[in-house]
Amino acid sequence: MPHNRIRSRHQPFEIAIMATAPVCGALLIVLDVRPQSVAMAMPGPIQAGWESGLIVVGVAGLLGVLWPGRLSTGLGIELASLLMLGTVTGMYAVALTVVTGRQGVAATSFIVAVAVGSGWRAVQIVLDLRRLTRAGQTTGLAGLAGSGAVSAGGGT
């Protein structure tokens, strides 16, 4: 049986972003401040969703990384969080680009890097979940064969 390698769930950059996101979202809400690009480019309800999204992304992402139960459950929670992180950072990158244009190229580049990194990690998790599924299917079939429920000839 081939060795299944699941990537480490302890990605330092991801964890740093996940820990920072809810702090940023909470500060935006509590202090009632917004980056000028967000205030200018997003309607009020979208701004509220973006701020709340930062909190949800961080809390859920850390929950997924630290999940004490089944690996696949933790990876699924982490995957959902990363997809949402890619969305909220993409929203911010678009708002920043619309408002600042070429002057904001450095800031926009960093924000886009977070969105791309989120997508990259999401793809890694999807591949890991596929490996876990295949390993479970292989183990399940091997267990059935060992119990006499499945034979090499296809009959029982």
**For 74-102, what is each residue's pLDDT tens digit?**
999 999 999 999 999 999 999 999 999 99
In angstroms, rounded to a whole number, what is the distance separating the alpha carbons of residues 91 and 95? 6
Q: Determine the 3-state secondary structure of 83 from DSSP.
A: helix
Reported confidence tier of residue 142, pLDDT bands at 50, 70, 90: low
Residue 2 lies in a domain: no
C-alpha dihedral, 58 to 62 to 67 to 72, nearest 10°: 70
Residue 113 lies in a domain: yes
Residue 1 lies in a domain: no
Q: 137 and 4 in contact (C-beta within 8 Å)?
A: no
Residue 151 lies in a domain: no
User: What is the domain extent for residue 141?
Assistant: 12-146
Residue 93 lies in a domain: yes
Q: What is the pLDDT of residue 115?
A: 97
Question: What percent of the chain has pLDDT above 70?
Answer: 82
In angstroms, rounded to a whole number, what is the distance separating the alpha carbons of residues 118 and 112? 10
Residue 7 lies in a domain: no
Residue 133 lies in a domain: yes
Going by C-alpha positions, the residue among 51, 53, 33, 37 that lies closest to residue 95 is 37
- Total domain count, the chain: 1
pTM: 0.81
Residue 155 lies in a domain: no
